[in-house]
Every structure is written in C-alpha cells, then in structure tokens.
Structure 1
Amino acid sequence: MVCGGTGAVGRHVVRVAGGRGHDVVVLSRSAGVDLAGGPDAALDAALAGADAVVDVLGTPTLSARGSVAFFTATTGRLLAAEHRVGVPHHVALSIVGIDGIDAAYYAGKLAQERLVASAAVPHTVVRAAQFHEFAGQIVSRASLGPVTLAPRTLTRPVAAAEVAEHLVGVAEAGPVGRAPDLVGPADDTLAGMIRRLSAHDRAGRRVVEVRLPGRYGAGLASGALRGGPGAVRGRLTFDDWLGSAARVA
C-alpha cells in the first residue's frame, strides 16, 4: 500500500514495488479513501490485508502550524486504521538533518516522526536528503518571469527514483524503527542545481540566492541537510540525473 503514490517519490515506489512482483495499491481519494476526513470503514477496508504501508504523503505549505496539522491528521488516522486491521509494517519517509530545525515544513515532519515512533504499529522511519526534483519544484513555486529566488541551501541531493528503491527495500526487510539515512553522492547548493537545470533546459533563467530568516533559513544554510557520515549514498549525481530516464520516468 502506498500513500502519496502519484507524487515525486510515490510514483517511483509504485513502479519499483510492482517491478519486484508486489501487488501495489495506491491509497487515494480517487479510489474512495480520503485521509483528510473520509469514513474510517473505507480506510480500514482499503488497508485490510496489506503487508506494509509506505507513506510518502506531502504538503506544499511552509507554515509550521499547517505542516504539523497536516501530518498529525493524516498520519494519526493512518496509524489508527493500521492498528485496527493489523498492518504489520508502517514505513514513513522523512528528511535528513532536521532535528535542530523544528520550524516551517520540518516541524510537521518531526511531529510525524514522533507519532510514528509512539504508535503501536511496527514501523520504520526512513530519512532522505532533498530530491534532485526539488530544483524544478522551486522554479515553479518561487519564480517571477525568468527570475527564480533560491533559498540558500547546502544539501546532498538524491534522485527520487533511488529514494523509492531504498523505501521498497526497507518495506521488504521488516520494521526496524529507524533505517539508515539516504543521501546523494555529492554536496551541492539549491541555487547551483537550479542554474544547471536552467542551462540544461536552455531556459535562460536568472537565479538569485537568498538567505531565509529564522530557524528555517538558518537550518537550510547550515549544512545539516547533507546528512551524517553513516548515511547510505545514492549513485546518481544531479548532473547525470538531468539527462537520465530517472528524470522523466
């Protein structure tokens, strides 16, 4: 079972799991299940018989209050239903290096991690670095004409397709509480990624790097989001990803 199965990572999870012979079901509103407030009976019926639930849901908000509300509500309902029907493994995707950044979007992810860790359902939390795809997302969200504002971010980006491979492997292995973190093969900056994305696509985009204020901005610029020394390293660099099948898959 995949929650968020049409997103940047979720679609790859569906593809990878299906390629390994798993019977994959995507939990979605279109399938009659709404985590935001649908009936418990529909959720229970959808989860019954699942060997594992991989939760890669996300929200575009940068509001700490909004992020906490979203992840608390969706994760809480999901865990409660899993407990009722006896799902043996809950896998949650989170973000490397966010322990000291309890602000903005990351506040919701930390709240989610705490919920998962305290639940009765056997679980695994998987932290990954920012995705290569994040560069394009910032272009679509933070651009005015040909100009894009890029938050100063020191990261070690990884391809969403490799995150999916890691998640499926974790789901197959059974609950361990906390899986090894996954980061990309090389250090990078978000501004640098967007500039190279623009050059590759011949977009002629001007990228202005800005230091965001507060704990969130300090966390982005600190290098914490590169992960620790014990993290698993992905194989595909951002530059190789730009022209690869993983970008368009």
Structure 2
Amino acid sequence: MAVARERGHQVVSLSRAEWVDLVTGRGLDQALQDVETVIDVAGIQTLSTKKAVDYFTNATQNLLAAGKTAGVKHHVVLSIVGIDKANSGLYAGKLVQEDEAKHGGIPWTILRSTQFHEFVPMSIKAASVGPLVFVPTMATQPVAAKEVAAALVDAAEAGPQGRIPDLGGPRTEQLKDLVAAYLAKTQQKKRIVPLRVPGAMGKAMRNGTLVPAPGSAVGRQTFLEWLDTIDA
C-alpha cells in the first residue's frame, strides 16, 4: 500500500479491519466502487490442502464477482514460484487462485515470487519445539517484501499482461543456513534438526523447483542485508 501511495495512487484496503471479508464477500461491493485495479495479496496460513483450496476458491470468486459488478478493469494476483510442481497445502490453493483469476472475466496479471525474507522467522516460530527447530531441506531464493510490492505496483500500472516473469531474490540459499543466521542474529539458543519432507512438496523443496528459472526477474536485497536491518 505504501508503494502505491508514494506513486500517487488512491488505495483502498480490502481487509477485515475495514469490515471487508473476502471469504463471505461482506463489504466487497461497496469497497470496490470506483476501483480500477485490484491487487490480490490475500493469504492463509495452513498446511491443509482442503483449507487452502476452499479459502482461495471462495475469496477469489467473491473478489472477481464483486470486481465485475464494480467495473474493475485489471486483476493482479501475487502467487508463488514453483506451485505447479508442489501441488499440496498452500500451493494447491494458490494454483486454484491463479485458475480462478484466468477465467474470472476480468483482464489479469499474475506475478509469482519466492518467499519473503520474513519467511525464515515465521518458519522458526512454526517449527520450534522447546530448544529444537525442525528445518526442512530446502533450496530457496528469498526476496525483499518491498521489492515484491514495487513489482506488483509496476504490474498494476502496466495493465493486464497475463503471466509475467517470476521474481526471486539475488541469491540461492539453503534454508538451514538462513535459519542459523537468524538464530545467531537474534541470540536464540536453538538446535537445528534437519527435516526431509516426503512427497512432491519435499522433492520440490530439495531439487530447486521453488527457485526461479533462468530469465526470471531478480531482486537486489540479500537475506543477510535484510538481517542487518532488524533489531536483535
């Protein structure tokens, strides 16, 4: 929102704080009046494929239906790199979101990005048990959230383009190394326990599927540079 406002755009937030609920559709018709472009960055924290699919189906259908009624001209979606090869949990829901946008009757743009730098502390919080933190074997290319926000506003300003090049950070890293760096920075005495995730998701984590392909857009800020900006 800050990036869009800095560029002179009027911004409306579609959040529960403004009494808008994407899942039920409450408040959408009124909130989207006079809106030309929607940037959909809605999400849910879950490992359940059913919950993710249900959420993104309902939220995206409601958002598109209200957008058509309001005369929205462009629907921009933030998605995740590699979801075609890891179709479970949250990624399955994001695939549904993309498909709904493609067939929702509003000209669209989809930007897939890698995980934000903040993914690391979120993973630590979710996977900690006492002094242990369970870390999946995963190649990742984390990107700055502000750079993704800028890319989304660029996409909104450019008009409907379909699927645009993926966006990732400047370096491919191993998640365990990023977790170790974050724990050291924040002085948390936890022991890292490597975790081999089974199935298609685990394979995608290990083989680089979740890292952007050559020719993708590349951000500037590395994880360690981001880490220097946070308080210990």
TM-score, normalized by length of structure 2?
Answer: 0.96
1:22 aligns to 2:3 (yes or no): no
Flag as ranges the 4+ runs of structure 1 deviating above 3 A.
none
Query: Sequence identity of aligned pairs in percent?
Result: 45
Q: Which residue of 2 aligns with 1:106?
A: 91
One-letter code aligned to 1:20: R
1:184 aligns to 2:184 (yes or no): no
CA distance, structure 2, for counterparts of residue 112 and residue 100 of structure 1: 16
Instruction: Give the one of 197, 204, 223 matched to 1:219.
Output: 204
Q: Which residue of 2 aligns with 1:47?
A: 32
CA RMSD of aligned residues (A): 1.3
TM-aligned CA deviation for residue 106 of structure 1: 0.6
CA distance, structure 1, for counterparts of residue 188 and residue 19 of structure 2: 40
CA distance, structure 2, for counterparts of residue 100 and residue 38 of structure 1: 31
Contact 2:120 2:178 in 1 (8 A): yes
Instruction: Give the one of 7, 19, 23 matched to 1:32.
Output: 19
Structure 2 unaligned segments of length 5 or more: list them.
none
TM-aligned CA deviation for residue 179 of structure 1: 1.5
SS at match of 2:85: coil
TM-aligned CA deviation for residue 151 of structure 1: 1.4
1:73 aligns to 2:52 (yes or no): no
One-letter code aligned to 1:194: V
Contact 2:53 2:92 in 1 (8 A): yes
One-letter code aligned to 2:22: L
CA distance, structure 2, for counterparts of residue 113 and residue 104 of structure 1: 15
1:150 aligns to 2:149 (yes or no): no
CA distance, structure 2, for counterparts of residue 222 and residue 81 of structure 1: 40
After TM superposition, the structure 1 = structure 2 runs for residues 191-206 of structure 1, keeping only pairs within 5 Å, are 191-206=176-191
Structure 1 unaligned segments of length 5 or more: list them.
1-13
CA distance, structure 2, for counterparts of residue 95 and residue 30 of structure 1: 25
